[in-house]
Structure 1
């Protein structure tokens, strides 16, 4: 049976997420602000949660109700038959986005919806679901838009960007979903060497390794919310897990991450070990000035610090100039990318860009700069 779904993603990554969903088998794909509508069956729902690299979660809309004010919202939520989706022995969490004139506090709106659901349970069965905001069995997503509320079941639970392999993080970690999107944008393929000379805790390289080895990121998670749904098909899910495990590859091209900070290199090595690819990706403590190309051609990508205050930005001028010098002198034949959130810093690279791609990194407007090193 074909069902309508909505995959949430970071602002600016909607088209990339849509392309990924199409590759996974989604139909009627339609990008929207911070998400993508699509259609598919139960197998596709499970498959996307298991394989998607650029989205946060998959929602299944169940009802759109009028919600001009708190009273109307409560009434209309309580009028729905929640026994189709939730049993009193299951824990619940309600998460709300959006607002209108009278429903302008998402936390209060979420409580109103929760109250309507558990009040119905109490009236019908004499018992009600407990609230669990950490590991709930069932997650209800509510989105207020004008005078309507779109209610959805969250099939995912904890955001997909939390792969589960990265307990160690640097000071400004890149989300795994954005790292994967950057790799799609650069059109890196598993046959190409990949270098990150400012690798931090290793996110870009680890995401590339998972792609290159065809490892489903969902394999690192213990559970998804759809496994608590009444129609959960354990046999189908088991077959998809087995298929994913059998499709993994064994070898990668040259993949190297370096950083001057010994502590973050240890973090990167720890993360690589956690996803059982420690022997495939090499992380070294090395200063940027000492880096050399490990092959005649490949992809170089890095996410250097941007600086917030003027004094911090000025202090980074030498780093960006050194990046340009290293690219020009040591990486002829390579394609290099820098993700930066500061135009003044990008000028210090001193090289002509072949492409400038707008990227949003955690609310910071950034640009992915592409350099062809002939």
Structure 2
């Protein structure tokens, strides 16, 4: 096992603080928040653990060289100087991802092509063969980031984005990203200490992520591969030790996680995803129209859901959101209700006062995560007023 080295985890806008907290809880050193990223230090085993356990990370990068670049010759020379044959075998496929914010290069594709030439030439010089480039699903992913005159070359240890957990085999029209779902749940304060409901569960992403948080299950336990498995220094035995140690920290959950959806197809997809995640013991899925339901449990209820925005699902927004507010107010006393929406105009028609409003992005759509506190006695008071 090697000593500590610097790494960077990429995340979504607004999740930097949550990711930093996750990293500290896992045992990372020198944690520093950036913009859509968090840098930290750890050893090889920690890199494996970060990929396995981080709920709000999209990628984990391992920087291998930083240098000053003023022209394409500098770029080629410095990348060619890296001992690439010691990092991966010539039989492995690779791909480059370049991000440039510099006057030196106005085209990130040119940077990738120049870097590719340097890597291929290095292999030819050392082993007399060259590895092949593969843009889709390569074995090795290399990230090049140039800001002004500083270039950082990093190995992408994750491969496919870490939101691809491996449990979601079926989706609906507008599925929510798994990292986004986990981050929103953590922002809502979900910790598994109460019952949970997603009344418009779609394909069940909130339900699965909520169960994994509640039980402290490593979030990528269902994932089969990472890019670091193709590195020459991959330690399969160490990786398995990390997996085993993480699974020993799984805890029991003594409440209910419930999902509703009025569409039979959504209920079926959710159930299959829940089964695939091996979480059917913790999650109940029912075909129900939220607007015809009442609170299914006694005591406090934590609710998080992603109602239609009107972007892809044609509905009468004002009436729909007004019914959300009415249903919460009349039928869900003792509930902490959170919803995310990008339809800020429709949000005004909920008719309830928000106790929190947090900016977020669902894909490219600017959205709000809002909280409504529905107090015990609301339903009784409503009926005493003579309203249904």
Q: RMSD of the TM alignment (CA)?
A: 1.9
**Residues in 2 aligned to 1:88 and 1:346: alpha-carbon distance in whole angstroms:** 55
**Residues in 1 aligned to 2:142 and 2:171: alpha-carbon distance in whole angstroms:** 30
Q: How far off its partner does 1:102 sit? A: 4.5
Q: How far off its partner does 1:308 sit? A: 4.0
Q: Which residue of 2 aligns with 1:152?
A: 154
**Residues in 2 aligned to 1:67 and 1:283: alpha-carbon distance in whole angstroms:** 55
**Residues in 1 aligned to 2:221 and 2:286: alpha-carbon distance in whole angstroms:** 27
User: Which of 76, 85, 93 matches 1:83?
Assistant: 85
String of CA shifts for 1:259-296, please: whole Å, max 9, x gaps: 12111111111100111112321111211211211123
- What is the SS of the residue equivalent to 1:36? strand
Q: Which residue of 2 aligns with 1:352?
A: 353
> Are the equivalent residues in 1 in contact too, given 2:87–2:233 (CA < 8 A)?
no
> Are the equivalent residues in 2 in contact too, given 1:99–1:106 (CA < 8 A)?
no
**Residues in 1 aligned to 2:244 and 2:274: alpha-carbon distance in whole angstroms:** 22
- What is the SS of the residue equivalent to 2:350? coil
**Residues in 1 aligned to 2:249 and 2:369: alpha-carbon distance in whole angstroms:** 32
1:62 aligns with 2:49: no
Q: Which residue of 2 aligns with 1:257?
A: 259
Q: After TM superposition, list the pairs within 5 Å mapping 1:287-302 onto structure 2.
A: 287-295=289-297, 296-302=299-305
TM-score by length of 2: 0.91
> Are the equivalent residues in 2 in contact too, given 1:209–1:252 (CA < 8 A)?
no
TM-score by length of 1: 0.94
- What is the SS of the residue equivalent to 1:218? coil
Point out the more displaced range, 244-253 or 105-114.
Answer: 244-253
Q: Give 5+ residue unaligned stretches, structure 1.
A: none
**Residues in 2 aligned to 1:20 and 1:197: alpha-carbon distance in whole angstroms:** 28
> Are the equivalent residues in 1 in contact too, given 2:104–2:149 (CA < 8 A)?
no
1:372 aligns with 2:370: no
> Are the equivalent residues in 2 in contact too, given 1:198–1:304 (CA < 8 A)?
yes
Q: Which residue of 2 aligns with 1:334?
A: 335
**Residues in 2 aligned to 1:318 and 1:29: alpha-carbon distance in whole angstroms:** 46
> Are the equivalent residues in 2 in contact too, given 1:213–1:252 (CA < 8 A)?
no
Point out the more displaced range, 334-343 or 102-111.
Answer: 102-111
Q: Would you say how many aligned residue pairs link Structure 1 and Structure 2?
A: 372
Q: Give 5+ residue unaligned stretches, structure 2.
A: 376-388
**Residues in 2 aligned to 1:289 and 1:10: alpha-carbon distance in whole angstroms:** 32
**Residues in 2 aligned to 1:223 and 1:189: alpha-carbon distance in whole angstroms:** 28
Point out the more displaced range, 298-307 or 250-259.
Answer: 250-259
